[in-house]
């Protein structure tokens, strides 16, 4: 039977690489993002397999719209990849609005999109959270992002227990530092890296993975592991 995947943030970076690689495995991939033109760029890699859905996952009404668009479709793989790291700022400058914005995208959206689509998950479906080392290691100026990813990690751990008798499996993976639009924007920001570590320097030292490299690891975890292996721990791309 035709397998179905849903990926948030499929228009760029890791999400785009995941969509391409799953499509190569003959999986139908629904990709979600706010910018339609970016989703269409991803769709161009495999027009028969990749289907764009323009939506903002941080808004409840837009998540309901996603459910409507996916009506009657039974999902094998749900990948919570979309996130933002911005703003990266010290405590004195964090506004309540900014903090809630990051939490809404990185934490609330994966939780409530899973809830919204629960009845459409096939038996033995797999949900994958894209985590970050920021879930576990504190950084100055990164309170909103670190908090959002740390909370996402706890959601993964709680759902693992909650799904124990449901035939649904949940995994988590830290994709490593990747050369994506998010990482380029971080490296451009002089407040975050005052000593100006350049993208070129990181590339020279081989400290950045390509999103294709990290996606390959994620796809292998999704498609080629037993349920026990899939959810036993948070994996780290290396």
Ligand X SMILES: NC(=O)c1ccc[n+]([C@@H]2O[C@H](COP(=O)([O-])OP(=O)(O)OC[C@H]3O[C@@H](n4cnc5c(N)ncnc54)[C@H](OP(=O)(O)O)[C@@H]3O)[C@@H](O)[C@H]2O)c1
Nearest CB to ligand X, comparing residues 26 and 220: 220
Give residue number: closest CB to ligand X: 13
Taking the complex as a whole, the smallest distance from the CB of residue 228 to ligand X amounts, in Å, to 25
d(CA 179, CA 200): 11
Nearest CB to ligand X, comparing residues 43 and 58: 58
SS3 135: helix
Binding ligand X (rule: CB under 6 A), the pick from 6, 7, 9, 218 is 9
Q: Is 114 in the site for ligand X (CB under 6 A)?
A: no
Q: Are 26 and 76 contacting, i.e. CB atoms less than 8 angstroms apart?
A: no
Interface stretch with ligand X, choices 11-19, 120-128, 136-144, 227-235 (CB under 6 A): 11-19
**The residue count for the chain:** 238
Q: Are 136 and 150 contacting, i.e. CB atoms less than 8 angstroms apart?
A: yes
Q: Is 183 in the site for ligand X (CB under 6 A)?
A: yes
Binding ligand X (rule: CB under 6 A), the pick from 180, 192, 219, 221 is 180
Q: Where are the alpha helices (DSSP H) in 189-226?
A: 199-204, 211-223
Q: Is 111 in the site for ligand X (CB under 6 A)?
A: no
CA angle 20, 120, 148 (to 5 degrees): 65
Nearest CB to ligand X, comparing residues 77 and 92: 77
Q: Residue 175 corresponds to which tokens in the numbers above?
A: 């994709």
What φ, ψ does residue 162 adopt, rounded to 5°? -65, -30
Interface stretch with ligand X, choices 32-40, 117-125, 164-172, 191-199 (CB under 6 A): 32-40
Q: Is 144 in the site for ligand X (CB under 6 A)?
A: no
């Amino acid at each position: 039977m035709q397998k179905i995947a849903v990926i948030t943030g499929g228009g760029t970076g890791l999400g785009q690489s995941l969509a391409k690689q799953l499509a190569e495995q003959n999986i139908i991939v629904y990709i979600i993002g706010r910018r339609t033109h970016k989703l269409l760029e991803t769709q161009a890699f495999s027009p028969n397999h990749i289907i764009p859905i323009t939506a903002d996952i941080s808004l409840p009404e837009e998540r309901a719209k996603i459910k409507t668009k996916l009506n009657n479709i039974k999902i094998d793989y749900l990948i919570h990849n979309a996130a933002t790291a911005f703003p990266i700022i010290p405590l004195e400058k964090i506004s309540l609005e900014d903090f809630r914005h990051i939490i809404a995208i990185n934490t609330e959206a994966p939780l409530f999109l899973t809830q919204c689509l629960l009845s459409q998950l096939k038996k033995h479906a797999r949900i994958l959270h894209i985590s970050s080392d920021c879930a576990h290691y504190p950084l100055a100026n990164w309170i909103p992002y670190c908090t959002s990813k740390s909370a996402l990690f706890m959601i993964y751990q709680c759902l693992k227990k909650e799904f124990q008798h449901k035939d649904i499996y949940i995994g988590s993976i830290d994709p490593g530092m990747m050369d994506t639009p998010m990482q380029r924007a971080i490296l451009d920001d002089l407040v975050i890296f005052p000593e100006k570590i350049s993208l070129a320097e990181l590339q020279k030292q081989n400290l950045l993975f390509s999103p294709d490299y990290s996606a390959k690891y994620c796809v292998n975890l999704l498609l080629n592991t037993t349920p026990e292996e899939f959810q036993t721990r948070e994996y780290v791309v290396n």
